[in-house]
């Protein structure tokens, strides 16, 4: 083990490549030069090309969903081939509410945001959130195939460098090797990922971006005039012998004043068969549930309360990441994961341009407990988060051609961590301090829209102030504060073309785990000791109250196009890409020092802790320069569709030129399929291509590029006795390819046969 080790939460990788910068410049220039003329043609063909409002799908909309494609019944005398068909949706035309805390399309936002809605989630037929993130450039899950060790990263940052929300409730659980997020895909309405610094709206931690998970609502299952609906589902996948089954029930009053939605989902799985032919130990039982109640006492007031729950029991190694198997130093454990998120929200939106207010109260409790197999040791980590968020929006008309909206508010939240270990004298757990952190934040954002003779301009400046406090039992408090400004600008010379740029600063306050870590990190045998059975010495954590917040400054620019009626009369093509560059200062990493004497004579003595230099300590160690290129696009018609994204990221220490942190190759993802409307059928394939990975200081960490393909078929009758049923069949990793995702530390799952049958209906 080298004397200086960066934790897995650190950023990024690699030196800049001139061809990538040239590619970005060429992409933006090509769009800027070619698109206006094409956009004018597209506008002449369809007046609706620039519409941005999208209605959430329900059971009543099944015949209009992107899933199968619109069609006319030739046997129906009332059918008209000339009837206006619903415009196809693409990911960039889907509504985001996270990027600005207001509704807008992902395409119109002057930055990078991706939205994966329920239709696409269902198409993946996912077993985990990691599968869904294939649809998002620059975002993925690391830590290997086990759900218990899977952690999200955005633009190379993970851990406390990425914020996670479930319906506006913060998820603050972080651990050295356990997962961060415990939620079944069956509960999701949509996944939003804002890529890039967003501290100006959300405060500490939003260096890499924000992951916002929106759960299902009653309106997702009920159309106008329907009062009862739901969905039942059962499925199987072979790579880990996983069965799942569950159901959703939705109800609403006839006048729409009350509604309720609830879900229960079960999964049972066994060890994972890898593409290498080996088996990764991972036995798991999980139970997920959701209950959400909404009351609308008036047209201007909406009250909602909800509970989201996950219980998972697994048998896997203490460190579930990578290729770890149970053994000395990493025993198998019976792991118990319990996650509960409670949220109550109020929206008050009277007939006034000055008031549109949200109040959100939230509480999240995430606990991971481990019972070592073959011993009596029990350890746990529990993080409780509770807080309140207040947001209001005020709109002003500035003449006929300009408008202004202010979004402003405040936030308070607190994280409390408790670590236990029944084998220590005081019952505390090494590296998991009993600690509390508090954040007080206030923010304001303006959105100025201006119509001119040369197009539409949108300017979005904002700033946030945060005060943060860290305290631990028996330790001196550590307090600090920070400002985070931003500004984004977009220009649409025609509705079908957008050019944008943004600048932002962001920060991440040191966590209580980094500041107050103490106790035993790990034990090693003293190979330089006297003859006989090996004696073990301890590497001890040492607190560091002098840690500085991580800070970043980022510029980003890009362009996008959105065309309708490109090939046929009812199709849509969208494309959006950007280049970003960040200077990230005061990166925090774990510095591990082991005395040379522990490896044998004639080196100095080997012992435990600071007197022998056998310590682990979090330090500010690097100043990084990070850059990357991301592009996503889609084409959708009544006959076929294509969704694709590409991302590359580069990062080096500005002082040493060394590669830093989580390293990733260039990655291309394509999902394409054909629609056979007369048969209510779609067939498709997904292709993932990763480049060779050599941008790392240690040649032993080089990785070959890889290609992997999935195929799938979806049968979804839209009429007749089987209306409401849906059958999903698929094979992931069709060729049983043996490949390793960088930072996973293990081969990926092998060939995986999948089948799911579901039914949904409403009355």
Q: Name the token pair of 477.
A: 């408090």
- DSSP state letters, 307-318: EEEEEEEEEEES
Query: Would you tell me how many other CB atoms lie within 10 Å of the CB of residue 398?
Result: 11
Question: Taking CA 346 as the corner, what is the angle to CA 343 and CA 349, rounded to the nearest 5 degrees?
Answer: 155
Q: Are 558 and 28 in contact (CB under 8 A)?
A: yes
CA distances from 52 to 78, 109, 540 (A): 30, 12, 56
pLDDT in tens, 450-496: 999 999 999 999 999 999 999 998 888 999 999 999 999 999 999 99
**Would the pLDDT of 47 be above 50?**
no
Q: Computed from CA positions of residues 316, 321, 327, 331, in that sequence, does the dihedral angle turn out positive or negative?
A: negative
The angle at the Cα of 336, spanning 333 to 342, to the nearest 5 degrees, equals 160
3-state secondary structure 524-591: EECCCCCCCCCCEEEEEECCCCCCCCEEEEEEEEEEEEEEECCCCCCCEEEEEEEEEEEEEEEEEEEE
Mean pLDDT on 181-185: 95
Question: Which pLDDT tens digit goes with each residue over 712-723?
Answer: 999 999 999 999
Q: Which residue has the tokens 């060394």?
A: 658
Percent of the chain with pLDDT over 70: 86
Q: What is the pLDDT of residue 91?
A: 67
Residue 629: pLDDT above 90? yes
pLDDT tens per residue across span 657-684: 888 766 689 999 999 999 999 999 999 9
Under the banding of pLDDT at 50, 70 and 90, the label for residue 622 is confident
Cβ 628 vs Cβ 648: under 8 Å: yes
Q: What is the pLDDT of residue 21?
A: 39
Q: Is the pLDDT of residue 90 over 80?
A: no
Q: Residue 366 to residues 216, 321, 333, 383, 418: CA-CA distances in angstroms? A: 21, 19, 18, 5, 11
Tokens of 485: 């400004």
Give all domains of the chain, ordered by start, each with its CATH number: 18-762 (2.40.170.20)
pLDDT for 741 equals: 83
Q: Apex CA 95: angle with CA 89 and CA 101, to 5°?
A: 170
Spatial contact of 691 and 718, defined as CB atoms under 8 Å apart? no
Burial of 721: CB neighbours in 10 Å, binned 0-12, 13-18, 19+: exposed
600 pLDDT higher than 70: no
Q: Which residue has the higher pLDDT, 159 or 198?
A: 198
> What pLDDT sits at residue 102?
96
In angstroms, the CA 730 to CA 123 distance is 10
- Is the CB of residue 470 less than 8 Å from the CB of residue 618? no
Q: Name residues whose C-beta falls within 8 Å of residue 453's C-beta, 6 or more positions apart in sequence.
A: none
The pTM for the full model equals 0.88
| Predicted local distance difference test score (pLDDT) of residue 658 | 85
**Secondary structure percentages of the chain, helix, strand, coil, to 5:** 10, 50, 35
pLDDT digits (tens, 9 = 90+) for 61-78: 444 344 444 444 444 444
Backbone angles phi and psi of 178, in degrees to 5 = -80, 165
> 364 - beta bridge partners?
341, 385
- Per the listing, tokens 């879900």 go with 263
Phi-psi sector, 640: left (phi>0), alpha (psi -120 to 50), beta: beta
Least confident of 425-439, 512-526, 540-554: 512-526
Indicate the SS3 state at residue 38. helix
């Amino acid at each position: 083990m080298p004397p200086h080790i960066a934790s897995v939460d650190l950023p990024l990788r690699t030196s800049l490549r001139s061809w990538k910068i040239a590619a970005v410049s060429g992409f933006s220039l090509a769009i800027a030069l070619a698109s206006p003329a094409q956009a004018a043609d597209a506008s002449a063909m369809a007046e609706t090309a620039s519409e941005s409002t999208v209605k959430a799908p329900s059971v009543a909309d099944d015949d209009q969903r992107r899933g199968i494609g619109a069609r006319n019944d030739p046997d129906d005398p009332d059918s008209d081939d000339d009837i206006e068909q619903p415009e196809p949706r693409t990911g960039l035309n889907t509504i985001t509410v996270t990027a600005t805390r207001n509704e807008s399309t992902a395409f119109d936002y002057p930055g990078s945001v991706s939205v994966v809605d329920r239709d696409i989630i269902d198409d993946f037929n996912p077993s985990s959130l990691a599968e869904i993130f294939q649809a998002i450039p620059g975002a993925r899950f690391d830590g290997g195939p086990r759900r218990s060790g899977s952690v999200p990263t955005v633009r190379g940052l993970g851990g406390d460098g990425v914020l996670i929300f479930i319906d506006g409730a913060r998820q603050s659980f972080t651990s050295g090797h356990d997962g961060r997020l415990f939620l079944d895909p069956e509960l999701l309405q949509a996944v939003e990922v804002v890529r890039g610094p967003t501290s100006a709206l959300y405060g500490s931690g939003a260096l890499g971006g924000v992951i916002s998970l929106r759960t299902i609502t009653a309106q997702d299952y009920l159309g106008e005039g329907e009062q009862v609906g739901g969905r039942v589902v059962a499925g199987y996948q072979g790579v880990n012998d996983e069965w799942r089954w569950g159901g959703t029930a939705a109800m609403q009053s006839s006048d729409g004043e009350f509604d309720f939605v609830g879900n229960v989902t079960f999964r049972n799985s066994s060890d994972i068969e890898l593409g290498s032919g080996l088996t990764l130990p991972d036995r798991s039982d999980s139970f997920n549930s959701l209950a959400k109640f909404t009351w609308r006492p008036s047209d201007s007031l909406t009250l909602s309360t909800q509970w989201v729950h996950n219980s998972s029991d697994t048998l896997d190694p203490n460190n579930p990441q990578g290729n770890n198997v149970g053994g000395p130093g990493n025993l198998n454990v019976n792991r118990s994961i319990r996650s509960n998120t409670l949220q109550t929200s109020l929206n008050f939106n009277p007939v006034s341009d000055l008031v549109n207010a949200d109040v959100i109260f939230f509480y999240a409790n995430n606990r991971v407990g481990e019972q070592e197999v073959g011993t009596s040791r029990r350890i746990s980590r529990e993080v409780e988060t509770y807080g309140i968020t207040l947001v209001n929006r005020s709109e002003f008309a500035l003449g006929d051609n300009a408008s202004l909206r202010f979004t402003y508010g405040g936030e308070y939240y607190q994280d409390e961590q408790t670590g236990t270990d029944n084998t220590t004298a005081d019952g505390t757990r090494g590296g998991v301090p009993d600690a509390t952190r508090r954040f007080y934040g206030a923010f304001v954002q303006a959105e100025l829209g201006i119509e001119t003779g040369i197009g539409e301009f949108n300017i979005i400046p904002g700033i946030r102030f945060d005060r943060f406090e860290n305290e631990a039992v028996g330790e001196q408090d550590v307090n600090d504060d920070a400002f985070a400004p931003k500004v984004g600008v977009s220009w649409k010379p025609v509705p079908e073309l957008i050019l944008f740029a943004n600048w932002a600063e962001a920060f991440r306050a040191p966590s209580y785990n980094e500041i107050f870590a103490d106790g035993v990190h790990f034990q090693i045998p003293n190979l330089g000791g006297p003859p006989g059975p090996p004696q073990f010495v301890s590497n001890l954590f040492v607190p560091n109250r002098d840690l500085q917040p991580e800070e970043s400054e980022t510029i980003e620019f890009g362009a996008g196009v959105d065309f309708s009626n490109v090939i046929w009369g009812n199709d849509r093509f969208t494309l959006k890409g950007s280049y970003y560059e960040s200077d990230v200062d005061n990166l925090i990493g774990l510095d591990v020092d082991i005395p040379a004497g522990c490896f044998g004579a004639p080196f100095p003595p080997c012992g435990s802790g600071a007197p022998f230099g056998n310590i682990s300590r979090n330090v500010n160690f690097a100043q990084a320069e990070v850059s990357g290129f991301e592009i996503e696009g889609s084409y959708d018609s009544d006959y076929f569709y294509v969704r694709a994204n590409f991302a590359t990221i580069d990062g080096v220490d500005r002082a040493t030129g060394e590669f830093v942190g989580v390293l990733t190759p260039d990655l291309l993802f394509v999902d394409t399929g054909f629609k056979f409307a007369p048969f209510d059928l779609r067939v498709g394939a997904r292709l993932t291509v990763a480049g060779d990975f050599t941008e790392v200081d240690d040649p032993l960490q080089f990785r070959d590029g890889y290609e992997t393909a999935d195929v799938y078929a979806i049968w979804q009758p839209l009429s007749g006795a089987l209306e409401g049923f849906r059958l999903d069949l698929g094979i992931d990793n069709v060729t049983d390819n043996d490949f390793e995702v960088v930072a996973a530390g293990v081969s990926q799952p092998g060939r995986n046969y999948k089948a799911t049958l579901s039914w949904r209906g409403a009355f």
